[in-house]
Structure 1
Amino acid sequence: MRQTCLPLALCLALAACSSQPDGQLPGNVQDDQPFSAIAPDEVIRLVGTEPFWGGEIAGDVLRWSTPENIDGQAISVERFAGRGGLSFSGTLDGGAIDIVVTPAPCSDGMSDRTYPFAVTVQKRAEQLNGCGWSDRQPYTGGSE
């Protein structure tokens, strides 16, 4: 099993920055419970701009897409439920990719949509920021 130190560190850093009383994380997540707001069978969709990228995580498969590869590339990922969100780790094009999904209102900066999740992607040395949603927790505003 591949180590997931970066996503864990990001989750812990987010927890440390929380302004919630008594060490609670956003959304009243208890300190000793893993994040459970996104079920393991829930499909998570990801979007980012500048540069444009997208993804869809279904189970243990990430389909990563870019303007150069609109159909996307499917890779296996490992899911980790931290205290304040989820992380997914895998290997894309021979290098590590780590994705952290946390509950927070998010804007893609290009539409009137508000997404329920903020997404941080570490792809080798490149960090990308974006938003996420699922069928059970959709974005609001804007149209498809």
Structure 2
Amino acid sequence: MSRPSLCLSALPLALLAVAACHSPAERVPGDAKDHHPWNGIAAGETVRFLGTEPFWGGSVGPEGLTYTTPGNEKGETVPASRFAGRGGVSFSGTLAAGAATLVVTPAPCSDGMSDAHYPFIVTLQIGSETRNGCGWTDRRPRSSGG
């Protein structure tokens, strides 16, 4: 066997050896070997969320998805379905403005307006419009900076 083909045949073994170094406890959400849904927000929990530029917010939980704006502080509430993926959870419903999907991802978040820290990044898509913000639950609350 020539030297180049020996190196090429050893490459797959080296990759397997590196992959074997990672234990299941070290897997992060979205790890290709982890097929379990993310469980950081329980099915019965309520997620509260907010965003700026423009200001918007709301909550989602067993009562449905409520979307608020400064022009509609009471908000619009619609039924929402929940989907737990490998890297977060999403909620889908239909607001008057169109189909809405709220994606909640575990990662530190800042609203950019205060010193508050949030445990989740949220992305809200309504129709073709996408908004980014932060979220929290009672179990994983927001905290003030300092």
Q: Structure 2 length normalisation: TM-score?
A: 0.77
Alignment of 1:94-133 (within 5 A): 95-133=98-136
How far apart are the structure 1 equivalents of 2:99 and 2:123? 14
Q: In structure 2, how many angstroms separate the alpha carbons of the residues matched to 1:81 and 1:58? A: 13
Compared CA separation, residues 41 and 47, structure 1 to 2 (3 A): same
Q: Which has the higher contact order (CA 8 A, sep 6+)?
A: 1
- Give the Cα–Cα distance (whole angstroms) in 1 for the partners of residues 129 and 51 of structure 2: 13
Confirm or deny: 8 A CA contact 1:35 1:85 kept in the other structure. Answer: yes
**Preserved contact between residue 35 and residue 82 of structure 1 (Cα < 8 Å):** yes
In the TM superposition, residue 83 of structure 1 has moved relative to its aligned partner by: 0.2
1:79: how far off? 0.2
Work out the CA distance in 2 between the residues paired with 1:26 and 1:56: 23
Distance 2:131 2:28 in 1: 23
Q: What is residue 138 of structure 2 aligned with on the other side?
A: 135
Are 2:89 and 1:69 equivalent residues in the alignment? no
CA displacement at 1:25 relative to structure 2: 2.8
Match of 1:89 among 74, 89, 92: 92
Determine which structure has more spread, i.e. the larger CA radius of gyration: 2
Show structure 2 runs of 5+ residues with no match: 1-21
C-alpha separation between the residues in 1 aligned to 2:119 and 2:62?
Answer: 19
Contact 1:25 1:83 in 2 (8 A): no
Distance in 2 between residues matched to 1:106 and 1:26, nearest whole Å: 17
Quote the RMSD (CA, aligned, Å).
2.3
Stretches of 4+ moved more than 6 A in 1?
A: none
Percent of aligned positions that are identical: 54
- Per-residue CA deviations over 1:94-135 (Å, capped at 9, x if unaligned) read 511111000000000000001000000111111100000011
Q: TM-score, normalised by structure 1?
A: 0.78
| Contact 2:29-2:86 at 8 Å conserved across structures | no
Write the distance in 1 (CA, Å) between the matches of 2:81 and 2:44: 14
- Is contact 1:78-1:88 (8 Å) kept? yes
